[in-house]
Amino acid sequence: MYYLFTKNILIQITEDLKNKKFLIGDLEFDTLPQNIINDSFSSSNWNRAFKFKPNKDVLEYNTFFIMVEIDLFFKNNKIEVLTKKSFFQNIINQPYFKNCFLNEVVKHYFKNTLRSSINLDNESLFLAKYKPENKKDILRIDSFDRFVIFDENIDLSKKKFQTLFIYKKGLKKATWSVNSKNQLIYKIPNNLSNELINQAFAFDLNSQYFLINNNSKNNPNLIFELLINDNLVQKTLSQSIIQALHSIEDEHTSWHLYNFTKELKYIENDINNLSSNHEIISLKSKIFKQNYLNLLSKPNK
C-alpha cells in the first residue's frame, strides 16, 4: 500500500427533525456518539466550503459540520482511504463516499498541479518495485539547472537553468547550442530502452533523483509525483551521455564532459597547459563567449 497524501475534509451532519434521524452521506443514525456532537459546529461561513453532504434532502433540519483528516493510499490499482477517527471510517467506507465524493477529493487536491504528458504504466507494480518518495509540485520546481529532460512536451521557456540536457529519441549524434537567454542546451540521442527512463520526465543531476509527474491510468484525477533514486539506471544513463558528448566534433570535448559531470579531471590538462596569467584570462574569455560558462568569480552584491 503506497501513501499518496493527507487531506482534511468537512463532513456535513444533517439532523432530520421530523424523523429524528442524523444523516451523514447515505447513512442514517438514530443517535450519534456524544464526542461527535461535542466536536461538531455550525457556521454560515461554510456555505461555499468543499464538504461531504448527505445524499438526501429533508424539509426540517439542523446542520452541523465536523472536520476529519483522511489519509489516501494506492493499493491494487485503486485508492484506499483511512482515518484515525473510528466512527468516520464507516462513513468513508460507504459506497456514496467512494463512488462519488472520493474522486472530488482527489480532483480538488491536484487541481493546481501541472501534469506531464506521460501515463504511469503498471502502477501498483511500478510503485512496489521502485519504492519512490513523494514530492509535491515537481513541475513547479523553479530551477531546471543540470536536468536531463526525457519528456519533450515539457515547456522549458519559463524554467531557469544555465545548462540543460535533452535526452531525445531519433537523434543520430549529440549537439549543443546557446539560446537567446544565454542558456546552454545539449541534445543527446536517447538510445536506451529502460522502464524508469521511459516513465520519468527528468533526471536531476544535482540531487541524483529521477523525477516522475505522471497521470494515473486508473483514475484521471490522480497524479503520481515521485522521486526515485536508482544507482544502476543512473550509471547507465551517465555512461550513455558521456559517450555521446565524446562524439561531438569540436575542440571543447573536455568542457562538455565537465558541464555534465562537474569533475575537474576533464579540464585539468587545459588549465595546466597554460603558461601565463594572460593566457588564463584569454581562455576564460573564450570559454565564456563560446560555451557561456564564466569561470571568473562573481562580484559580491
The verdict on 99 and 163 lying in the same domain is no
Confidence of residue 288 (pLDDT cuts 50, 70, 90): low
Write the pLDDT tens digit of every residue in 187-223.
999 999 899 999 999 999 999 999 999 999 888 899 9
Range of 152's domain?
Answer: 119-267
**Centroid of chain to Cα 279:** 46
CA distance 15 to 19: 9
Same-domain pairing of 236 and 125: yes
Least confident window among 15-24, 107-116, 172-181: 107-116
Question: Same structural domain for residues 100 and 125?
Answer: no
214 and 234 in one domain?
yes
Cut 0.75: pTM above it? yes
pLDDT tens digit sequence for 88-125: 999 999 999 999 899 999 999 998 888 888 888 889 89
Same domain, 103 and 123: no
- The whole-angstrom separation of Cα 169 and Cα 133 is 28
Q: How confident is the model over 133-143, as pLDDT tens digits?
A: 998 888 888 89
Q: What is the mean pLDDT of residues 230-247?
A: 96
Q: Is residue 97 part of a domain?
A: yes
Mark whether 131 and 229 lie in a shared domain: yes
CA 262 to chain centre: 26
Has residue 52 been placed in a domain?
A: yes
Q: Binning pLDDT at 50, 70 and 90, where does residue 268 land?
A: confident
Q: What is the three-class DSSP state of 239?
A: helix
Q: Which contiguous run of DSSP H or E holds residue 212?
A: strand 209-216
Same structural domain for residues 9 and 98? yes
Q: Is residue 137 located within the same domain as residue 10?
A: no
Total domains present in the chain: 2
